[in-house]
Amino acid sequence: MLPFHQLVVDDPAFAPEGDEPFSIYTSWIETEFNNTVPEYAGTIGAGEATDTRHEVVVEVDGKRLAVSVPDSLLPTSARIHKPLAPVRSKTAHASAGGGNDVASPMQATVVKVEVAPGDAVIKGQTVVVLEAMKMEQAIAAPRDGIVAKVSAEVGTTVKAGFVLLSLEKSSST
């Protein structure tokens, strides 16, 4: 643990004894904490200056990013020398098998309808966005086609299996 963090955790306001109340608040460090951490006077060792880097893939807001970090920052268990299997996409294909109906995979609230009857869609295109337990789920078209009917309305709650919209084959398929 870093010296600053250790001092905060050891402070009586952070870890009161007996019946004393927990008295930390948002600006406690700025207003009341007695910061007695001495300045770091050391130098970077030879091994640290030449630390090898490792590329780590992280997911932020549903997007995968490659980040290069020094190996010394990774716990031993995170030092992986072979690629992992790809992470499953967060976009749900609401119906499988190329059917005409796009159904809700779960009970949720419709927060966005991105298509209207007559619109051409391609496989994987987001057609509806649902929200359940504060998490948004993009629903993708299972195949290319033309939107025949939209049953989903923004603000309504739908059950699992509810038909959000129907597709018909496009003239080019």
Q: Domain ranges for the chain, please list them.
A: 1-41, 49-88, 92-168
With CA atoms as reference, report the closest residue to 94 among 160, 125, 131, 139. Answer: 139
Average pLDDT over residues 51-68: 79
| pLDDT classification of 10: cutoffs 50, 70, 90 | confident
With 60 as the cut, is the pLDDT of residue 137 above it?
yes
Q: Tell me, what's the pLDDT at 96? A: 45
pTM: 0.45
Q: Which CATH architecture has domain 92-168?
A: Beta Barrel (2.40)
Torsion angles phi and psi, residue 145, rounded to 5: 170, -170
> What letters, b where the CB count within 10 A reaches 16 and e where it falls short, cover 63-94?
eeeeeeeeeeeeeeeeeeeeeeeeeeeeebeb
Whether residue 171 is predicted with pLDDT greater than 90 in this model: the reply is no
Question: In angstroms, what CA-CA distances link 60 with 14, 64, 90, 128, 138?
Answer: 31, 6, 12, 21, 16
pLDDT more than 70, % of the chain: 77
